Structure 1
Amino acid sequence: MQTIVCMKWGTRYPADYVNRLWSMVKRNTQRPTRLVCFTDDTSGISEEVAVHPLPPITLPERVMWLPWRKLSMWQAPLADLDGDVLYLDLDVVVTGGLDVFFDYRPGQFCAAENWTQPGSRIGNTSIYRWHVGRHSEIFDRFNADPEAVLRDYRIEQQYISALVDDMEFWPSDWCVSFKHTLLPKWPMNFFKVPPLPEGTRVVAFTGKPDPDEAEIGAWPVNAPWKRLYKHVRPTPWITKHWR
Structure 2
Amino acid sequence: MVTKVCVLRAGKEYGPQHVQWLARQVPGLVCLSDVAVPGVPTVPLRTGWPGWWAKLELFGGAIDGDLLYLDLDTVVLGDLAPLQSVGRTTALRDFYHPGLVGSGLMYIAEADKSAVWDAFTADPAGHMARCSKWPRWGDQGFLQEYMPAQRWQDVLPGAVVSYKAHCRRGIPSGARVVCFHGKPRPWEARENWIPKL
TM-score normalised according to structure 1 size: 0.70
CA 1:13–1:164: 2 relative to 1, 3 Å:
closer
- Alignment of structure 1 residues 22-33 onto 2, 5 Å: 22-26=23-27
Deviations 1:77-126 (A, max 9, x none): 32xx222210011110001110111222x1x21112110211x1x32111
**Residues of 2 paired with 1:156 and 1:180: CA distance?**
22
Is residue 35 of structure 2 the alignment partner of residue 41 of structure 1?
A: yes
**Residues of 2 paired with 1:151 and 1:74: CA distance?**
20
Q: 1:158 aligns with which of 122, 141, 157?
A: 141
Question: Aligned-pair distance for 1:141?
Answer: 2.1
CA 1:199–1:24: 2 relative to 1, 3 Å:
same
Who is 2:89 aligned against? 109
Larger radius of gyration: 1
Q: 2:118 aligns with which of 136, 140, 158?
A: 140
Unaligned runs of 5+ residues in structure 2 are: none
**Residues of 2 paired with 1:154 and 1:211: CA distance?**
23
Question: Aligned-pair distance for 1:181?
Answer: 2.7
Preserved CA contact (<8 Å) 2:4 2:69? yes
Amino acid at match of 1:158: G
Where 1:140 maps in the other structure, the secondary structure is helix
Question: Aligned-pair distance for 1:133?
Answer: 4.8
User: % of aligned pairs identical?
Assistant: 31
CA RMSD for the aligned pairs?
2.0
**Residues of 2 paired with 1:208 and 1:125: CA distance?**
16
- Alignment of structure 1 residues 65-76 onto 2, 5 Å: 65=51, 67-75=52-60
The count of corresponding residues between Structure 1 and Structure 2 is: 188
Who is 1:187 aligned against? none
Preserved CA contact (<8 Å) 2:4 2:29? yes
Who is 2:185 aligned against? 210
Who is 1:196 aligned against? 171
Unaligned runs of 5+ residues in structure 1 are: 27-33, 184-193, 216-234
CA 1:115–1:54: 2 relative to 1, 3 Å:
same
Deviations 1:141-176 (A, max 9, x none): 2222124323253221122122233x1111231111
Question: Aligned-pair distance for 1:135?
Answer: 3.9
Preserved CA contact (<8 Å) 1:38 1:55? no
**Residues of 1 paired with 2:108 and 2:14: CA distance?**
24
Which 4+ runs in 1 deviate beyond 3 A? none
Deviations 1:4-40 (A, max 9, x none): 01111223223222222122123xxxxxxx2111111
- Higher strand proportion: 2
Is residue 14 of structure 2 the alignment partner of residue 13 of structure 1?
A: yes
Amino acid at match of 2:36: T
TM-score normalised according to structure 2 size: 0.85
**Residues of 2 paired with 1:93 and 1:110: CA distance?**
18
